[in-house]
Amino acid sequence: MTTPQDHAYSRRLFMQQGVTLASMAATLPQFIQRSAAGMLMPEGSMLSSQAGVPEDQVLVIVQLGGGNDGLNTVVPYGSDIYYKARPAIAIGAPGSSRNNAAALSIDGADGIGLHPAMSEFKEMMDDGNAAIIQGVGYPNPNRSHFTSMDIWHTANNSGTRTNGWVGRYFDCTCKGTPDPESGVSIGRETPLAMVGDQQKPVSFENEEFFKWQGQNLNSALEDPYHRITRSGSLEPVPSNNQMDFLMRTSLDAQLSSDRIRAAVAKRPLVNYPRNRLAQQLQTVGAMIRDQMRTRVYYVSLGGFDTHAGQVGTHQNLLGQVSASLKAFHEDMKAQGNNGRVLTMVFSEFGRRVRQNGSSGTDHGTAAPMYLVGDMVRPGLHGVHPSLTDLDNGDLKFTLDFRRVYAGILEQWLKAPSKEILRGTYKPVNVLKDGLA
Amino acid sequence: MPTSSLKPLKQSEFDYWAAQHLLNRAGFGGTPDQVQAVLQMGLDGAIEYLVEYEEAVRPLPLDVDQFDSDIMRPANNMERQLGLQARRNGDERALEQLRQQRQQRQRQDRRQIAQMQRWWLKRMIETGRPLEEKMTLFWHGHFATGYRTIEDSWHMLQQNNLFRTHATGNFADLVSWIIRDPAMLEYLDNNENRKGSPNENLARELMELFCLGEGHDYTESDIKEAARSLTGYTFDDDEFVFNSNQHDDGMKRVLGKTGRFDGDDLLRIILGRTSCSEFICLKLYKFFVNDLPDGMDANTRKFIQRLAAEFRKNQYHLKPVLATLFKSEHFYDRANRSALIKSPIQLMVQTVRSLRTPSDRSMTALVGAGDLMGQNLFQPPTVKGWDGGRAWINTSTLFVRQNIVIYLLTGQGPETMAWESDNIPYDPMHLLEHLDQDGNGTDRIDAGVTYLLKFCLGTNPHPERVESLTTFVRSNGNRLGPDQAIACLCLIAAMPEYQLC
């Protein structure tokens, strides 16, 4: 007979030894994973309900690439300046019909509303499960997509691109035993944020392509293939650092392949909309449901670089974001995992206050961030940046993004933010009272 | 540590493996016979053959007649009138018809860009001028322009041929064409850059990504002023147009110089900076020599600066710089052998060209695999192009990299992928032809396996690798016939070291 303590112990043991076990017994990883999963998770149980099992909080990061127009997402409809600066693209006040778009009102907010395409997000706010953090940015804003994105990913603006803030969180918590499943990103490119010195995330775009096809040709190839790809390293190491990197990634790929494909094969409990972001979140939902050890998931949606004719494009994009986040939240509720999963949404910068000559907006600075989850302290946080006190036509940030990271690290992931962010940032209170 | 000098390699050190290194890097590799032929040319001869290709090798016909230049042409007068009239009269049926016509043209154009992707990939596989196509690919990554944004396949093709024409020509000429290239003007919104309402997109990337490097040597104010210089640079249908009504001919101050600058003045000022030559040479270095995952040592920095000085001395002509680079001892240094992570295109094209796998496998499959591995031709992820190096590799792309080589070797693709399987046979035995036919069976297996490994990996194989493959061959037929050789190649392609070249 097993007790919760046994479960916890086995789980911890497996987390520490998983990689070693699997790579030693090259032909048995699936068996090990199945039996480990069986020990840990009696049908229908939730990790969060098990005594003595810490570390089961999950963070999902949603990246909006291209620079989402914050002023047309969280709309300062109470301001005349907003309408003067953006005659062709401004969103009207609730109930108005300016530019055929009326903002959705936010409870308790004065003169600030949401883009009309964000109705699902508003519902989640009304239910007390979503928050907006206003005016987020950093000093000396950089208006290059790539540099600014790097700054958000690395959490520093010195221009070094060696590792990212989530990667450093993994490095800091893994204590020398990297677990390739700690971080999973969906998409073709590995986000720098997830890359640590020791810890690299698993990334894939489509789970179906996530295995070797050689054994289909001839099963005799399976043994030499395992020998080649799971050897970890060749002693003495034959050449350079590139080889170490390739060897490690190869091993990680083998260990993650079976696991992830098994998780994603199940049908979701709720219906997701048909768009790229929703598909990614659906995959994340499946992995969470399958009790993967993953602590941070990363998904992204691009196309927010609305330099020209932005009205329709932006509406469409925000509609996708809002509906996808809501479906994911419903999925978490249906799974009973809604208490475990916090979702954070960001973009590399906002856009300039004044519209440009092409009914679009150019690269700007501060913008809101968004949080979703049962544990989230709901509503509007922080101060909307001033529309009159501008820096060269751009908003001045009112809150450093690293304070949001610090809040998530300290309160949610229970990790030392000073060490990970390499500086002291006062954590934003992201959690409801009594949870932090 | 590789030397900081530009001095050439000694002829005596230009051996078979150096010749293979040159063919891999300045092109897409070659068969054992082709490596041998390049070796016979000697170092100088080989580089002349590769770099002075206009004289040495006849081009493949471009064959652009197969493409329709008019699918996305702008509406003519009559069509515009019809549209205006329909809108004025609120004629919903006519408007709907116009919308449908437009959608149909967009669908047709998307089919055409897919055709162009196959055309270019095939060209890279078949060309006798590998450096021409490789530099075309380099410029495509450098002046990155994405089809999905501009939705005009003919403009992408025009730009692609611009890169090919100037592939190893003069960089200054190429940039001056780029600020007149319809695809680029559209991609970076310069058709919206007008006097009084500037759009900074092209000006910014001209400094940040095309010429000087991010944060180098310029300020935000330089970008704003540069944008004014580029106002009125637009296009009509397939042609560049300078619209003087929309050009701001006021005084500008860019990079410390003042005047009534236009785009050409702006380029002269930018290209006058030392940092421009250094930026381009660093990019060439990362593309051809070493992607520098751990940064640069002092010698490498010095080497690139010297190369940049050559570039300036030659007024931005590329051929002398490329020849110097490919001849240099530095290029052949141990530290730079098998040190680059192959781009997805390099992986596929080099596999076909060096193993001589059937070149008539489905190009659709190869283009699709390129996309899955992160390199979709005519659709770089952002205006920054492809990061390259380690960014190509993650747990997902690694599987596609292994599987696409299996497809090239066998014609068999995963069921779940839309790779059309075929039964075109591949005979790998030509790779082993020149090996000594003497010796007993066991020795021949060892020698054959060792040679396959060394030829594919470009370095002496680790004994563990030889052991894995010989064990497999001995227990599967105990001879190195075509089936066993193909199986060995599938396994070699699954080795992490196959990702390097």
pLDDT of residue A265: 87
CA-to-CA dists, residue B479 to A55, B226, B426, B461, angstroms: 54, 67, 18, 20
Residues of B in contact with A356 (CB under 8 A): 192, 197, 199
Taking an 8 Å cut-off on Cβ atoms, the answer to whether A227 and B468 are in contact is yes
Q: Hey, is B376 helix, strand or coil?
A: coil
Phi-psi region of A359 (alpha: psi -120 to 50; beta: other; left: phi over 0): left
**Of the listed ranges A1-10, A411-420, B33-42, B245-254, the one predicted with least confidence:** A1-10
- Looking up tokens 């560049």, which residue turns up? B240
Total residues belonging to chain A? 436
B317: phi then psi, degrees, rounded to nearest 5: -75, 135
Q: Hey, is A433 helix, strand or coil?
A: coil
B254 bridge partner residues: B257
Domain locations along chain B: 344-410, 428-499
Nearest CA-CA partner of B40 in B25, B54, B19:
B19
**Of the listed ranges A109-118, A173-182, B82-91, B470-479, the one predicted with least confidence:** A173-182
pLDDT of residue B130: 98
Closest approach of A11 to chain B, Cα-based (Å):
24
B374, B402, B469 ranked by CB distance to A188: nearest: B374
Distance CA A227, CA B471 (A): 11
Nearest CA-CA partner of A105 in A85, A88, A120, A122:
A122
pLDDT of residue B436: 65
User: A203 — contact with chain B (CB < 8 Å)?
Assistant: yes
**C-alpha angle with apex A397: A393 to A400, nearest 5 degrees?**
150
Closest approach of B104 to chain A, Cα-based (Å):
20
Q: What are B385's two structure tokens?
A: 């192009």
Amino acid at B23: L
Q: Strands, DSSP E only, in B133-221? A: none
Taking an 8 Å cut-off on Cβ atoms, the answer to whether A234 and B372 are in contact is no
A7's enclosing H/E stretch is helix A4-24
B208, B399, B476 ranked by CB distance to A253: nearest: B399
Total residues belonging to chain B? 501
Residues of A in contact with B381 (CB under 8 A): 188-189
B402, B471, B487 ranked by CB distance to A212: nearest: B402
Instruction: Return all residues near B10 (Cβ < 8 A) that are at least 6 apart.
Output: B329
Assess whether pLDDT exceeds 90 at residue B337: yes
pLDDT of residue A55: 56
Give B121-180 pLDDT, tens digit per residue.
999 999 999 999 999 999 999 999 999 889 999 999 999 999 999 999 999 999 999 999
Residues of A in contact with B399 (CB under 8 A): 209-212, 253, 257
Give B373-428 pLDDT, tens digit per residue.
989 999 997 788 998 998 899 887 899 999 999 999 999 886 656 677 888 999 99
Q: Hey, is A299 helix, strand or coil?
A: strand
B216: phi then psi, degrees, rounded to nearest 5: -95, 120
Nearest CA-CA partner of B185 in B203, B169, B197:
B203
Assess whether pLDDT exceeds 70 at residue B291: yes
Distance CA B192, CA B198 (A): 8
pLDDT of residue B62: 93
Domain locations along chain A: 58-211+255-421
User: A208 — contact with chain B (CB < 8 Å)?
Assistant: yes
Taking an 8 Å cut-off on Cβ atoms, the answer to whether B192 and A356 are in contact is yes
Taking an 8 Å cut-off on Cβ atoms, the answer to whether B391 and A257 are in contact is no
Sequential DSSP letters for B83-148: HHHHHHTT-HHHHHHHHHHHHHHHHHHHHHHHHHHHHHHHHHHH-S-HHHHHHHHHHHHHT---HH
Counting beta carbons within 10 angstroms of the beta carbon of residue B265, is it exposed (0 to 12), middle (13 to 18) or buried (19 or more)? middle
Residue B111: count other Cβ atoms within 10 Å of its Cβ. 12
User: A146 — contact with chain B (CB < 8 Å)?
Assistant: yes
CA-to-CA dists, residue B134 to A73, B28, B310, angstroms: 44, 8, 21
DSSP state of B301: H
Q: Yes or no: say if B185 and B191 are a contact pair by the CB < 8 Å rule.
A: yes
pLDDT of residue A15: 33
pLDDT of residue A21: 30
Class of domain A58-211+255-421: alpha beta
Closest approach of B391 to chain A, Cα-based (Å):
7
Instruction: Return all residues near A178 (Cβ < 8 A) that are at least 6 apart.
Output: A19, A170, A196, A198, A199, A200
Q: Is this complex's ipTM strictly greater than 0.90?
A: yes
User: A145 — contact with chain B (CB < 8 Å)?
Assistant: yes
Residue B341: count other Cβ atoms within 10 Å of its Cβ. 20
Taking an 8 Å cut-off on Cβ atoms, the answer to whether B372 and A209 are in contact is yes
pLDDT of residue A243: 87
pLDDT of residue B440: 59
* pLDDT tens for each residue of chain A, 436 residues long: 333 333 332 333 333 333 333 332 222 222 222 223 333 333 333 333 333 233 589 999 999 999 999 999 999 999 999 999 999 999 999 999 888 899 999 988 889 999 999 999 999 999 999 999 999 999 999 988 878 998 999 998 765 667 899 999 999 887 666 677 889 999 867 798 998 887 778 888 777 678 898 988 889 999 999 999 887 667 665 556 788 889 888 888 888 887 888 888 888 999 999 999 999 999 999 999 998 889 999 999 999 999 888 999 999 999 999 999 999 999 999 999 999 999 999 999 999 999 988 889 999 999 999 999 999 999 999 999 999 999 989 999 999 999 999 999 999 999 999 999 999 999 999 999 877 6
A212, A228, A239 ranked by CB distance to B495: nearest: A228
Q: Yes or no: say if A199 and A182 are a contact pair by the CB < 8 Å rule.
A: yes
Closest approach of A198 to chain B, Cα-based (Å):
14
Residues of B in contact with A205 (CB under 8 A): 372, 396
Closest approach of A87 to chain B, Cα-based (Å):
15
Distance CA A365, CA A229 (A): 45
**Of the listed ranges A134-143, A355-364, B314-323, B338-347, the one predicted with least confidence:** A355-364
A143, A216, A249 ranked by CB distance to B398: nearest: A249
Distance CA B27, CA B50 (A): 8
Q: Yes or no: say if B469 and B480 are a contact pair by the CB < 8 Å rule.
A: no
* SS3 of B405-460: HHHHHHCCCCCCCCCCCCCCCCCHHHHHCCCCCCCCHHHHHHHHHHHHHHHHHCCC
Counting beta carbons within 10 angstroms of the beta carbon of residue A163, is it exposed (0 to 12), middle (13 to 18) or buried (19 or more)? buried
A381 bridge partner residues: A133
Is pTM beyond 0.80? Reply is no
pLDDT of residue A66: 95
Q: What are A314's two structure tokens?
A: 């932006």
Distance CA B400, CA B389 (A): 17
Residues of A in contact with B196 (CB under 8 A): 357
Taking an 8 Å cut-off on Cβ atoms, the answer to whether B396 and A239 are in contact is no
Taking an 8 Å cut-off on Cβ atoms, the answer to whether A245 and B200 are in contact is no
- The dihedral built from the CA positions of residue B487, B489, B494 and B497, taken in this order, carries a sign that is positive
Sequential DSSP letters for B340-368: SBPPHHHHHHHHHHHHT--TTS-HHHHHH
Q: Read off the pLDDT of each residue in B241-256 and give the average, rounded to a whole number.
A: 97
Taking an 8 Å cut-off on Cβ atoms, the answer to whether A256 and B335 are in contact is no
A159, A201, A214 ranked by CB distance to B406: nearest: A214
- The dihedral built from the CA positions of residue B378, B380, B384 and B387, taken in this order, carries a sign that is negative
Amino acid at B99: R
Closest approach of A76 to chain B, Cα-based (Å):
24
Comparison of pLDDT for A30 and B272, the residue scoring more: B272
Distance CA B382, CA B448 (A): 44
pLDDT of residue A3: 35
pLDDT of residue A8: 31
Q: Yes or no: say if A197 and A154 are a contact pair by the CB < 8 Å rule.
A: no
Q: What are A247's two structure tokens?
A: 């060897």
Q: Yes or no: say if A304 and A210 are a contact pair by the CB < 8 Å rule.
A: no
Nearest CA in chain B to A218: B487
CB crowding A135-160: b at 16 or more within 10 Å, else e = bbbbeebbbbbbbbbbbbbbbbbeee
Closest approach of B422 to chain A, Cα-based (Å):
14
- Looking up tokens 């974001």, which residue turns up? A321
User: A276 — contact with chain B (CB < 8 Å)?
Assistant: no
Residues of B in contact with A227 (CB under 8 A): 468
Distance CA A224, CA B471 (A): 8
B233 bridge partner residues: B242
Interface test with A, best of B202, B394, B457, B466 (most A CBs within 10 A): B394
